[in-house]
Amino acid sequence: MLVNNKHYRTVWLEKSAIKMINQPLLPHKFEIYSSKSYKETANAIRTMIVRGAGAIGATAGFAMAQAVLEANEKNYKNKIKDALKTIKSTRITAQNLFYAVDRVYSLVKDEKNLKTAGKIAVDTANAIADEDADACKKIGEFGEILISDNDSILTHCNAGWLAFVDYGSALSPVYTAAKNKKKVFVYVDETRPRCQGAKLTSWELLNEKIPHAVIADNAAGFYMQQGKINIVITGADRIAANGDTANKIGTYEKAVLAKENNIPFYIAAPTSTIDVKTKTGRDIPIEERSEDEVLYMPGVDDKGRKTRVRIAPRQSRAKNPAFDVTPAKYIKGIITEKGIIKADEESISGLF
């Protein structure tokens, strides 16, 4: 997608270094972060220099390739096993991460020739990234038919191209609709505590020149009651076999509100986000992040330097689940690269 009228992907491989947009610096500064080892890349995933389902998956695939390239004949098997464990521990809810590292690892774990293993790993990681971008483009093409001219769309968190290799999931139908000359408006949930809607989704929409407004998470119900929102589209970090979906904390609330106000609620995600081994949402592991994300508000000072201020009493503690699970009964449909399906076990199993 576009940054100052230039096309970028969120993450890519240059020789043995992984290049990624440094997302915590946005929207105030655009910078490319370079990671030169798999451990550095794993830390970039953990600290959310790169974040979002598909972008995490692609980066994890590249990290696994880095581990293969770093190995030697004596430590090869142990090196890539350690890498597999380390990368998987970074973000436990994100299915795309597990999909990518398992796919690369399975193809190289028994390879005897290191040069061959390196080529297989790099080619596979690049293929995962390309497939992610292509899937998101198709999600836009399928999802665009759900959006009418002059519609207002609510989205939660950031499921645009920054969350994937390109195009995005929840925002891909919006981008496609705009390119097809439909007039659209996007209500952007902020989304606390990391404010990825306010920081990232709004920044994307500005670059794409799409009208929008950032709203407090708690304001979504107000605009639904006012008849200002026609459709809700969010992304997903993991979809269970029965259609239950884990996404950024607060998504469940939006789904319930949409149901109450007779507004269609859709999930947009590539099939790599679906985990058929996880039967229901109750089985999805939920990442608990640092309480500091809730207790402090990050920003920049007048000189553009990163800073943060505490917004709660110093004696107060916080709870910070990163995701919640929306039961399938609240989901009108799931927009995938293979089409729009119902959020049920039969429809999901038919994709594979």
Across 313-321, average pLDDT: 98
Lowest pLDDT segment from 43-52, 167-176, 301-310: 301-310
pLDDT band for 271, please (50, 70, 90 cuts). Answer: very high
pLDDT of 11 strictly over 90: yes
pLDDT of residue 131: 98
Q: Taking a C-beta distance cutoff of 8 angstroms, is the pair 266, 146 a contact?
A: yes
Q: What is the mean pLDDT of the chain?
A: 96
pLDDT band for 34, please (50, 70, 90 cuts). Answer: very high
Q: Taking a C-beta distance cutoff of 8 angstroms, is the pair 328, 262 a contact?
A: no
Domain ranges in the chain are: 2-137, 143-349
**Nearest of 82, 14, 87, 20 to residue 51 by alpha carbon:** 20
List all residues 6 or more positions away from 329 whose beta carbon is below 8 Å from its beta carbon: none
The residues annotated with a catalytic role in the active site are 237
Q: What percent of the chain has pLDDT over 90?
A: 94
pLDDT of 299 strictly over 90: no
pLDDT of 346 strictly over 90: yes
Q: Taking a C-beta distance cutoff of 8 angstroms, is the pair 228, 220 a contact?
A: no
Q: Give, in words, the CATH class of 2-137.
A: mainly alpha
Across 70-84, average pLDDT: 96
pLDDT of 158 strictly over 90: yes
Rounded to whole angstroms, how far apart are CA atoms 58 and 165?
7
pLDDT of residue 165: 97
Query: CA 70, 75, 79: angle at the middle one, nearest 5?
Result: 60
Give 30's DSSP letter.
-
pLDDT of residue 302: 83
pLDDT tens across 238-252, in order? Answer: 999 999 999 999 999
pLDDT of residue 64: 98
SS3 content of the chain, % helix, strand, coil (to 5): 45, 20, 35
Q: What percent of the chain has pLDDT over 70?
A: 100
pLDDT of residue 4: 81
Between 3 and 105, the higher pLDDT residue: 105
pLDDT tens across 171-190, in order? Answer: 999 999 999 999 999 999 99
pLDDT of residue 304: 78
Rounded to whole angstroms, how far apart are CA atoms 93 and 67?
22
**Nearest of 22, 42, 138, 36 to residue 82 by alpha carbon:** 42
pLDDT tens across 190-208, in order? Answer: 999 999 999 999 999 999 9
Rounded to whole angstroms, how far apart are CA atoms 130 and 164?
11
Q: Taking a C-beta distance cutoff of 8 angstroms, is the pair 132, 159 a contact?
A: no
pLDDT of residue 224: 98
Q: Which helix (H) or strand (E) holds 130?
A: helix 114-143
pLDDT of residue 83: 98
Rounded to whole angstroms, how far apart are CA atoms 330 and 59?
31
Buried b (16+ CB within 10 A) or exposed e, 197-212: bbbbbbbbbebbebeb
- As its CATH architecture, domain 143-349 has 3-Layer(aba) Sandwich (3.40)
CA 136 to chain centre: 11
Which amino acid, one-letter code, is at 151? D
pLDDT band for 5, please (50, 70, 90 cuts). Answer: confident
Rounded to whole angstroms, how far apart are CA atoms 278 and 284?
7
pLDDT of residue 2: 79
pLDDT of residue 173: 98
